[in-house]
């Protein structure tokens, strides 16, 4: 009798263990299935947490400056008034006046001091030296064009200004200078187009607006 009771107890324990094991296996299967077919809300949250963040795009100083220049050009086009335009213009020129090479920046500083002293020939020479060191820097050409105009060398002024615009087509001051050169040469159609370009990139440029009106008064008979 004792052996029989012991055997029955062992069978019962085995049965209980088997049931528990089966329940555990079913639970594991259900858990795995739920993970494979998760609700949309869970997937959305999981993707935000688990998805790797994109690495920031590396930018050097030159690329950052170009980004800022483009930003200010866009802001200038939609400036509400002349005062706002002048503030944006100052920020824009602060970026445009910085060359990539430190040596060129030193030359620009020296040339600017000579301009203030009205030593135009030496300032022009320094800007031309800067052009050789960094041919892709538009401002050294634009400033050289302005000085050449002051010195009365309009051919050189035109060549320098066109080069500046080739490098930076949004340079409204260079477009205005080119328009002035064309107007003085009697090429009014080219002058008007140049002034239009200047006004497009800086709609608050009153000098360009007056120049267009002045040309229209000559070509279309519009009274001043």
The domains of the chain are located at 2-50, 62-219
What pLDDT score does 58 carry? 45
Asked if 139 and 123 count as a contact pair (C-beta separation under 8 A), the reply is no
- Tens digit of each residue's pLDDT (9 = 90 or more) over 45-92: 334 434 444 444 445 788 888 999 999 999 999 999 999 999 999 999
Residue 52, both tokens = 């790797």
Q: What is the pTM of this model?
A: 0.71
- Phi and psi for 202 in degrees, rounded to 5? -145, 85
What pLDDT score does 220 carry? 83
Q: Taking residues 89-115, report their average pLDDT.
A: 95
What pLDDT score does 168 carry? 97
Residue 88's nearest CA partner among 113, 68, 108 is: 68
SS3 220: coil
C-alpha dihedral over 20, 23, 24, 27, to 10 degrees? -160
Burial label, 146 (beta-carbon count in 10 A; 0-12, 13-18, 19+): buried
Q: Which residue has the higher pLDDT, 55 or 21?
A: 21
Averaged pLDDT of the chain: 82
What is the rounded CA–CA span in Å between residue 91 and residue 168? 17
Asked if 162 and 181 count as a contact pair (C-beta separation under 8 A), the reply is no
What is the rounded CA–CA span in Å between residue 176 and residue 191? 9
Report in angstroms the alpha-carbon separations of 114 from 27, 119, 158, 213: 86, 5, 22, 35
Distance between the two ends of the chain, CA-based, in angstroms? Answer: 131
Q: Which residue has the higher pLDDT, 146 or 38?
A: 146
Between vectors from CA 138 to CA 76 and to CA 93, what angle results, nearest 5°?
35
Helix 138-150 and helix 120-133: axis angle, to 10°? 160
Between vectors from CA 130 to CA 125 and to CA 131, what angle results, nearest 5°?
95
Range scoring the smallest mean pLDDT among 44-53, 108-117, 137-146: 44-53
Q: Tokens 């080219």 identify what position?
A: 190
What pLDDT score does 34 carry? 43
Give the domain 62-219 fold.
1.25.40
Kindly tell me if the per-residue pLDDT of 193 is higher than 90.
Answer: yes
Kindly tell me if the per-residue pLDDT of 134 is higher than 50.
Answer: yes
């Amino acid at each position: 009798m004792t052996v029989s009771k012991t055997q029955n107890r062992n069978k019962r324990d085995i049965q209980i263990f088997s049931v528990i094991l089966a329940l555990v296996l079913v639970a594991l299967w259900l858990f795995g299935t739920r993970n494979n077919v998760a609700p949309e809300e869970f997937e959305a949250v999981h993707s935000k947490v688990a998805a790797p963040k994109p690495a920031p795009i590396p930018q050097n100083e030159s690329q950052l400056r170009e980004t800022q220049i483009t930003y200010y050009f866009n802001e200038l086009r939609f400036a509400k008034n002349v005062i706002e335009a002048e503030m944006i213009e100052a920020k824009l020129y602060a970026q445009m006046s910085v060359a990539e090479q430190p040596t060129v920046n030193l030359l620009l500083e020296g040339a600017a001091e000579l301009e203030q002293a009205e030593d135009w020939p030496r300032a022009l020479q320094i800007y031309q030296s800067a052009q050789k060191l960094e041919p892709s820097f538009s401002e050294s050409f634009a400033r050289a064009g302005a000085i050449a105009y002051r010195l009365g060398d309009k051919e050189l002024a035109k060549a320098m200004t066109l080069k500046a615009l080739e490098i930076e087509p949004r340079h409204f001051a260079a477009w205005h200078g080119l328009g002035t050169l064309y107007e003085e040469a009697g090429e009014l159609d080219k002058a008007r187009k140049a002034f239009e370009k200047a006004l497009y990139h800086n709609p608050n440029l009153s000098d360009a607006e007056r120049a267009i009106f002045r040309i229209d008064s000559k070509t279309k008979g519009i009274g001043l």
